[in-house]
Amino acid sequence: MMWIRNFVGGEFVDPDENAGFDDVNPATGQVHARIHEASPELVDRAVIAARRALPAWARTPVPERVAVLRRAADLLAERFDEFAAAEVADTGKPVTQARELDVARALSNLRTFADVVATAGLESFLTDLPGGGQALNYAVRKPLGVVAVIVPWNLPLLLLTWKVAPALACGNTVVVKPSEETPATATLLAEVLAEAGLPSGAYNVVHGFGAGSAGGHLSGHPGVDGVTFTGSSEAGIHVMRSAAARVRPVSFELGGKNAAIVFDDADLAATVDGLTRSVFANTGQVCLCTERVYVQRSVFADVADGLVERARALRMGSPLDETTTTGPLISRTHRDKVLHYFELARRAGAEVLTGGGVPTLGGDLDSGSWAEPTLWTGLTNVDAPVREEIFGPVAALIPFDTEDEAVALANDTDYGLAASVWTTDLRRGHRVAQAMNVGISWVNTWFLRDLRSPFGGVGLSGLGREGGASSLHFYTEPTNVCVRL
């Protein structure tokens, strides 16, 4: 059985046979590797290695640092299919998605942040002093230090490189804790970065779970200078408590209960196409996915019928079959959670338009963590399936009459990550998008991202912003220098 090992100080650590756990392919339920769980002592070694590597890497000129990222992108491209296969084995997602989204976006992350950091600057001010003379104020960026990077299982490589690329480009060193469900690509990236010329200790990987395991040890480690975390809101609260003891900066992208608003003047064909993606992409396991769809009453039936037709056309099957559109949920445990909400919806009086159960796919796939794409009507904002994040292939369709009502319904949530507005009235699109209490509002599209723009959430959806210059703000500390001339 293959072992997925920890990577500390530029070397893979031989696994302790008694400190391992299974890496399960959620499409089949079969174990395909063993994962070495990092002990507290090994986490400590990783942080020490990162701290030792920090001074030299921080002093490395920016052009040399970003050149390492560009070489890493080129090397990752050469191993494109290997990374895609690792994502498929860990997540069960269709291989077409792994190629077109996960690995492709990882390449973009590495290259984009190399460009962002290479061209970044800071303001300077020439000040006239009372009584004559001048002073020059300018700022220099210094790395934040040793950064703990904790990433989830839904888009493992994409979100890992989204954080690691700017962190390294800014001169930080990192200790990565990938999800226990999806450890493979973080480990493969260690090989790529080492070959690209990243110094030993600048990138470390420790495997394990959250509280009481590698994640808890890392987020609370006194040698860590900042924590960037993507995951559930509940887990984020625990990480924040750990970081608070030393008043360390944190950047959190947490859960979402995202809304879409469909007005009666929307292009319905384009809207149904967009909603199909936003509800069911990655089996609904994207923090940006739509779980609440508010539709103006006059077109409610048309939108519902269109979404049902599209949901029933989705194809569940082997992740290696290029005609498969929809993969499994990440685990049986997570599927139990999703199925629990299916039951809560039934108790609340929901009408199941499509789905609502577990499919029979045949063969090994029947041992996987599958759930049917599901749509409900008959629920309201007071019902748990509409208020709480499910993180599965599901949405509630709810009618509205007026723009003000739609905005109020969409904003009636403790979360605030994303929203989408569907209308051909451009003025209304701008107006409603800006009225959403979220970090990102789309108009007539979904999941369209410019990596230079700020990204993050409000409320239970997170704290801080990353992307473009916003990433530089988190991963560096500016020092102002004032010189009297």
Strands 415-416 and 458-459: antiparallel
The confidence score (pLDDT) of residue 61 equals: 96
* Sequence-distant contacts of 385-389: CB under 8 A, at least 24 apart: 385/341, 385/344, 385/345, 385/348, 385/350, 386/257, 386/291, 386/292, 387/257, 387/413, 387/414, 388/257, 388/341, 389/232, 389/233, 389/255, 389/256, 389/257, 389/291, 389/415
Active site residue 17: no
Q: Per-residue pLDDT tens for 61-73?
A: 999 999 999 999 9
Q: Per-residue pLDDT tens for 224-251?
A: 999 999 999 999 998 998 888 888 999 9
Q: Longest C-alpha distance within the chain, in Å? A: 86
- In the chain, the amino acid numbered 409 is L
Fold annotation for 3-254+461-484? Aldehyde Dehydrogenase; Chain A, domain 1 (3.40.605)
The confidence score (pLDDT) of residue 280 equals: 98
Mention every residue, 6+ apart, whose C-beta is less than 8 A from residue 187.
Answer: 4, 5, 7, 178, 205
Residue indicated by tokens 């979904």: 446
Q: What percent of the chain has pLDDT over 70?
A: 100
Residue 471 CA to residue 163 CA, distance in Å, equals 8
Of these residues, 37, 87, 180, 253, which one is catalytic? 253
The CB-side HSE value for 288 (13 A sphere, CA atoms) comes to: 21
Q: What CATH homologous superfamily does 258-450 map to? A: Aldehyde Dehydrogenase; Chain A, domain 2 (3.40.309.10)
Residue 25 CA to residue 38 CA, distance in Å, equals 21
User: Looking at the chain, which residues constitute the CATH 3.40.309.10 domain(s)?
Assistant: 258-450
Mention every residue, 6+ apart, whose C-beta is less than 8 A from residue 468.
Answer: 116, 450, 451, 452, 453, 454
The confidence score (pLDDT) of residue 242 equals: 86
- Whether residue 122 has pLDDT greater than 90: no
- Whether residue 151 has pLDDT greater than 90: yes
Query: Residue 407's beta-bridge partner residues?
Result: none
CA distances from 204 to 13, 64, 147, 267, 328 (A): 11, 20, 10, 48, 30
- Of residues 106, 436, 401, 468, the one with CA closest to residue 256: 436
Q: What is the mean pLDDT of residues 91-102?
A: 98
- Of residues 185, 192, 111, 116, the one with CA closest to residue 151: 185
Average pLDDT over all residues of the chain? 97
- In the chain, the amino acid numbered 80 is F
User: Looking at the chain, which residues constitute the CATH 3.40.605.10 domain(s)?
Assistant: 3-254+461-484
Q: Are the C-beta atoms of 179 and 214 separated by less than 8 Å?
A: no
Q: What percent of the chain has pLDDT over 90?
A: 96
- Whether residue 42 has pLDDT greater than 90: yes
Of these residues, 87, 287, 389, 466, which one is catalytic? 287
Active site residue 403: no
The confidence score (pLDDT) of residue 65 equals: 98
Q: What is the mean pLDDT of residues 423-428?
A: 98
| Pair of tokens at residue 207 | 């495997």
**Residue with the larger pLDDT of the pair 121 and 209:** 209
Estimate the crossing angle of helix 300-313 against helix 268-280, to 10 degrees: 50
For every residue of the chain, which 3-state class applies, written as one string?
CCEECCEECCEECCCCCCCEEEEEECCCCEEEEEEECCCHHHHHHHHHHHHHHHHHHHHCCHHHHHHHHHHHHHHHHHCHHHHHHHHHHHHCCCHHHHHHHHHHHHHHHHHHHHHHHHCCCCCEEEEECCCCCEEEEEEEEEECCEEEEECCCCCHHHHHHHHHHHHHHCCCEEEEECCCCCCHHHHHHHHHHHHHCCCCCCEEECCCCCCCCHHHHHHCCCCCCEEEEECCHHHHHHHHHHHHCCCCCEEEECCCCEEEEECCCCCHHHHHHHHHHHHHHHHHCCCCCEEEEEEEHHHHHHHHHHHHHHHHHCCECCCCCCCCCECCCCCHHHHHHHHHHHHHHHHCCCEEEECCCCCCCCHHHHHCCCCCCEEEECCCCCCHHHHCCCCCCEEEEEEECCHHHHHHHHHCCCEECEEEEECCCHHHHHHHHHHCCCCEEEECCCCCCCCCCCECCEECCEECCECHHHHHHHHEEEEEEEEEC
The confidence score (pLDDT) of residue 246 equals: 84
The confidence score (pLDDT) of residue 247 equals: 87
The confidence score (pLDDT) of residue 1 equals: 79
Q: Per-residue pLDDT tens for 325-346?
A: 999 999 999 999 999 999 999 9
Q: Per-residue pLDDT tens for 381-422?
A: 999 999 999 999 999 999 999 999 999 999 999 999 999 999
- In the chain, the amino acid numbered 66 is V
Q: Per-residue pLDDT tens for 172-190?
A: 999 999 999 999 999 999 9
CA distances from 279 to 111, 307, 353, 401 (A): 29, 10, 14, 22
Query: Residue 33's beta-bridge partner residues?
Result: 23
* pTM of the full structure: 0.96
